[in-house]
Amino acid sequence: MKHFLGFDLGAESGRAMLGTLADGKLGLEELHRFSNQPVRLPTGLYWDTLRLFHEMRQGLAAATRERKAALSGIGVDTWGVDIAFLGRDGALVDNPRHYRDARNNGQMERTFAIVPREEIFAETGLQFMQINSLFQWHAMQEADSPALDVADTLLFMPDLFNYFLTGVKRCELTIASTSQFYDPAKKCFAVTLLERLGLNPRILPPVVNPGALLGPLKDEAGTHIVPVFAAAGHDTASAVAAVPAQGDMDWCYISSGTWSLMGVETGEPVINEHSLALNFTNEVGVEGRIRLLKNIAGLWLWQECRRTWAEEGANYNYTQMTQMAFAARPFAAVIHPDAFLLPGDMPAKIAAHCKEHGEAPPATHGEYCRSILESLALRYRQVLESLESLLGRTLKRIHIVGGGSRNMLLNQFVADATGRVVIAGPSEATAAGNILVQAMGAGLVKNLEEIRSVVAASFPVTVLEPKDKGPWDAAYERFVRVHAALTR
């Protein structure tokens, strides 16, 4: 029996998860959960980085002091794209910004004026989103940020927390590949691209593979306690590693949470005019597998509606919101989930979006909830069709993993909208992938195939068959019209 501690930090909350590996099965236990709320200052929107690390230390104490667990490893995964800078002394020179910070607005177009869109995609194969690390870094450079004058090292968020734990500065591969300055074909940072933009590639540390041993954990006295491994640092990479798929590659995945990441695994990056036109991304996963995927706004819209309604005095939990959605009128409104990037009064934003695109706004909170779930399912159908056109084959099954896989109403909507079988679970795929990649680094699990076998043996799944697709076909026509208007 071996114990591992996985820190899983999402855009809404973080957890310390204790994983126990025994007899080919993995057990998970949540030891500590904490919120992850950004902080708005006069200068922008920031992550509360030091508090997050304090909460991680609390989770470590829960494992080692309270549970007396003899840990065989520690690993960290987080959301993607955000970056931190260290000075020569190893201290943070600025608190990391949140990817929804308004500083990024319009930055893609300013970057394209120097290096054209097509050339950036040819080098990096990454979808274009203003939140990408490349645009964040370039925005700092254009704003003449004093932090860059003294920056000695750039780290992504899981790398930063690994550094806090060990003192070792490394970039983990899966998180580096979300940056839009990593070349997945050449398997190295896109140095020439950075230099053309006036960005200093010499502050980038060496890249390590998922499962690499980073070093020993250091406590306040500097003594060594337990090994820290580079988990699949991007939370989606950890989640995809834990998709319980077996056999033929006739499946795709949706890692469902604040964001929905929908895609397939391929052996090589797919970088061509078609993938550029469809704005797909080529991120790197465990064992160098390419995650050909698209980012979709996900349950972020639900989270923001819930926050707004709570401020108005209506405090719903997610179970209540699902019940409200189930009881609400079907297809009251069709929206495009990806039209909502910035925080704010989400119900008001949705109502304005509906009016702009010829849809009647939802009339009740339940209709808002249902419209979001239905529109997500319609967006998944669109992305599925795009994936099949890129691959030239039919995808018969959709694996939904992550916290959103617990929403069986959404899962059934996905089956109905796409006409595909949906396999939902495990909901803790990210934590499972984090811990099993550590176990692979420790030599206890052989490879990605064995990781997925352990997951399949350890966690139940729910299979949902598609029902009547007719109403969804009519709704999809409305969705395509809205999409066309947004992408003109």
The CA distance from 417 to 480, in Å, is: 13
- Per the annotation, the verdict on 235 as an active-site residue is yes
State the CATH number of the domain containing residue 95: 3.30.420.40
Tens-level pLDDT at each residue, the chain (488 residues) = 999 999 999 988 999 999 999 999 999 999 999 999 999 999 999 999 999 999 999 999 999 999 999 999 999 999 999 999 999 999 999 999 999 999 999 999 999 999 999 999 999 999 999 999 999 999 999 999 999 999 999 999 999 999 999 999 999 999 999 999 999 999 999 999 999 999 999 999 999 999 999 999 987 544 547 999 999 999 999 999 999 998 778 999 999 999 999 999 999 999 999 999 999 999 999 999 999 999 999 999 999 999 999 999 999 999 999 999 999 999 999 999 999 988 899 999 999 999 999 999 999 999 999 999 999 999 999 999 999 999 999 999 999 999 999 999 999 999 999 999 999 999 999 999 999 999 999 999 999 999 999 999 999 999 999 998 889 999 999 999 999 998 87
Q: Hey, what are 199's tokens?
A: 């960005």
The verdict on residue 202 lying in a domain is yes
Tell me: do 207 and 333 sit in the same domain. Answer: no
Query: Letter for the amino acid at 63?
Result: A
pTM to 2 decimal places: 0.93
User: Alpha carbon of 231 to those of 24, 36, 440: distances in Å?
Assistant: 19, 20, 10
The verdict on residue 431 lying in a domain is no
Residues of the domain holding 47: 2-235
Tell me: do 96 and 160 sit in the same domain. Answer: yes
Number of domain units in the chain: 2
- Residue 371: its H or E element: helix 365-391
Q: Are residues 266 and 275 in contact, defined by beta-carbon separation less than 8 angstroms?
A: no
Tell me: do 287 and 224 sit in the same domain. Answer: no
Q: Which of 208, 235, 262 is the last residue of a domain?
A: 235
Tell me: do 480 and 418 sit in the same domain. Answer: yes
Tell me: do 115 and 228 sit in the same domain. Answer: yes
SS3 breakdown of the chain: % helix, strand, coil, rounded to 5? 45, 25, 35
Tell me: do 226 and 250 sit in the same domain. Answer: no
Give residue 249's pLDDT.
Answer: 80
Q: Hey, what are 129's tokens?
A: 């989103």
300-311 vs 346-356: helix axis angle to the nearest 10?
120
Pairing of strands 251-256, 260-266: antiparallel
Give residue 220's pLDDT.
Answer: 52
The dihedral through the CA atoms of 438, 440, 442, 444 has a sign that is: positive
Q: Which of 235, 254, 285 is the last residue of a domain?
A: 235
Q: Which residues touch 115 (CB under 8 Å, ≥6 apart)?
A: 193, 196, 197
The verdict on residue 441 lying in a domain is no
Give residue 12's pLDDT.
Answer: 87
Span between the terminal Cα atoms of the chain, in Å: 57
Tell me: do 216 and 308 sit in the same domain. Answer: no
Q: Which residues touch 285 (CB under 8 Å, ≥6 apart)?
A: 174, 232, 237, 240, 241, 265, 291
Tell me: do 48 and 196 sit in the same domain. Answer: yes
DSSP H helical ranges for 218-341 = 235-241, 273-278, 300-311, 318-327
The CA distance from 391 to 63, in Å, is: 44
Q: Which of 235, 253, 268 is the last residue of a domain?
A: 235
Q: Are residues 295 and 259 in contact, defined by beta-carbon separation less than 8 angstroms?
A: yes
The verdict on residue 432 lying in a domain is no
The verdict on residue 436 lying in a domain is no
Tell me: do 225 and 334 sit in the same domain. Answer: no
The CA distance from 167 to 402, in Å, is: 31
Q: Which residues touch 469 (CB under 8 Å, ≥6 apart)?
A: 416, 417, 419
Tell me: do 151 and 16 sit in the same domain. Answer: yes
Q: Which of 8, 94, 183, 235 is catalytic?
A: 235
Tell me: do 202 and 254 sit in the same domain. Answer: no
